[in-house]
Structure 1
């Protein structure tokens, strides 16, 4: 079965630049192939709950159920199904991407979980988070929500970069990469480049900065003491089923403290490698890597209120070596 469109979840604190980022996408040549879903109380005001065509051909829909994190499941699923079906009946080719703009305090985990009801659409899921350099949420009272958003992201877009000094910008970059070393960090002044990197060239691999020179060599990356990044090395002889059991035990033991997992585990043969990822305790479908991949077996775990001892106590039938990030 052919893969479906990219589904992009855009999160970020209130006023962090989500709407500005989407407006930059509206001006791109890819706009007609994109659908955007927003909250009725969101920063882009779209009245009603029916689809409409913008001046540039962008298809838009509204969720009328308030905070998408709290009450979206039925509304979101129905809206996405309507978008896809309306597009099909119109005779146009399927959307390239569907973008969901979350409210400021939404946490991506429950949203990702709700999308399981749309498994037949075979979405390629990507999470984007905006981070305001002028009002760093990791240093605010909204720390819990900010960490949940950042840890889940495949791409983090630094915003308001033109309003702060280079030192503040570097501090924001360091805080984001320390919170989520797995994310691609977009650190650009150009609004069009930020939109391109967020929507047209999504990340999700190892930590990558668009402007690597903005990172100060030797600068200590500070992370809030309640959030830690751990790395685990797996034994080369660990069976596929044992690796899965270990990850399930890890997710069950940590529960809401688990923010993100990215793991490379063995496949059904020793030459195979499989990528497994989770947002919170919700795992995406396994992805088989290139048979010639030399990637070592292991995992990166981002967790809150968790020490290495907690992880070492999680049952496993094969050796796991833990390292603090």
Structure 2
């Protein structure tokens, strides 16, 4: 019987470079029509999906928004894979050679792999990839347990942000991941395109394992991240991006180490412009201008630990901002 597509689960800490890694792969491919990408966003604004769509050339994409795929969305994942394969067959095209799942930074691979047993007939070949941010070592933070679960399960570990650290930090990261998972293949490439090629090279035909289930498994998944909450902010189209950045920096200053991630889409200088503002912890990246064809609503996602709606409401804000809590 013919083998199915490679199914790549890309996990890693919030802001560790998962989207950039996939984007580099797509940018290096003249034709991505044999690749499908499923993006899991913890918040309901699909910002990472919008970014990846700018790099796609014929790529198929599905999104799993407003939830963590390892906790409450495994059935949605199964349905998304089935739908992608079905529409591919209906279109009379050959099988995908690769399906990539970009997990939320909160996700642990174990429950995701367990859910794939429902797709045994597709004969998926499994490849677990995890990113390790050399500039913010994940094993030194409050997300220690999630990071260990991601790295220990990986077939391939990719060192990211290596251009932002000294050689000593890079060597320390290499020693750490080899100590934690000596069986994993470690990608330690400076070039983004070389890093992507190595990361997605198949480690061999690894079948999805048959994993037993029990009646309490879904309840356990809902409790994986009890202290983490995801908030969405809505605002009007007349917001100035400089004001939005000041407001986001106020949030970072108020929450401090409790802040895990910010991703926000705000108006640019012109009516059709959209800027992406984002932070990992309290460290902000330079604003990124999205292409005009990119369709993504205005709004912000804030992921924080031990934070309630009252904490955010007490922070000085722009006019016309409303908050919703999702997790």
Please indicate the TM-score interval, normalised by the length of the shorter structure: 0.5 to 0.7
Where does the alignment leave 5 or more consecutive residues of structure 2 unmatched? 206-211, 213-219, 221-327
Structure 1 residue 190: Cα displacement: 0.6
Alpha-carbon distance in 2 for matches of 1:170, 1:189:
13
Question: Is 1:25 the counterpart of 2:20 in the alignment?
Answer: no
Alpha-carbon distance in 1 for matches of 2:47, 2:187:
22
Where does the alignment leave 5 or more consecutive residues of structure 1 unmatched? 206-247, 249-255, 257-325
Structure 1 residue 5: Cα displacement: 0.2
Structure 1 residue 55: Cα displacement: 5.1
Q: Deviations over 1:242-285 (max 9, x none)?
A: xxxxxx9xxxxxxx9xxxxxxxxxxxxxxxxxxxxxxxxxxxxx
Name the CA shift for 1:45/1:6 in 2 (closer, same or farther; >3 Å): closer
Residue pairs, 1:99-110, within 5 angstroms = 99-110=100-111
Per the alignment, residue 156 of structure 1 pairs with 157
In 2, are the aligned partners of 1:133 and 1:158 still within 8 Å (CA)? yes
Alpha-carbon distance in 2 for matches of 1:32, 1:158:
27
Per the alignment, residue 44 of structure 1 pairs with 48
- Large movers: runs of 4+ above 3 Å: 40-43, 52-55
Alpha-carbon distance in 1 for matches of 2:119, 2:171:
39
- RCO greater where, 1 or 2, for CA within 8 Å and sep 6 or more? 2
In 2, are the aligned partners of 1:54 and 1:60 still within 8 Å (CA)? no
Structure 1 residue 84: Cα displacement: 0.3
Structure 1 residue 22: Cα displacement: 0.8
Aligned residues, how many? 202
In 2, are the aligned partners of 1:184 and 1:204 still within 8 Å (CA)? no
TM-score calculated relative to the size of structure 2:
0.59
Name the CA shift for 1:197/1:54 in 2 (closer, same or farther; >3 Å): closer
TM-score calculated relative to the size of structure 1:
0.59
Residue pairs, 1:217-296, within 5 angstroms = none
Matched residue SS, 2:101: strand
Structure 1 residue 46: Cα displacement: 4.2
In 2, are the aligned partners of 1:31 and 1:57 still within 8 Å (CA)? yes
Alpha-carbon distance in 1 for matches of 2:61, 2:92:
18
Per the alignment, residue 199 of structure 2 pairs with 198
In 2, are the aligned partners of 1:129 and 1:155 still within 8 Å (CA)? yes
- The Cα RMSD (Å) is 2.2
Structure 1 residue 203: Cα displacement: 3.0
In 2, are the aligned partners of 1:11 and 1:103 still within 8 Å (CA)? yes
In 2, are the aligned partners of 1:155 and 1:204 still within 8 Å (CA)? no
In 1, are the aligned partners of 2:32 and 2:56 still within 8 Å (CA)? no
In 2, are the aligned partners of 1:61 and 1:79 still within 8 Å (CA)? yes
Alpha-carbon distance in 2 for matches of 1:188, 1:137:
19
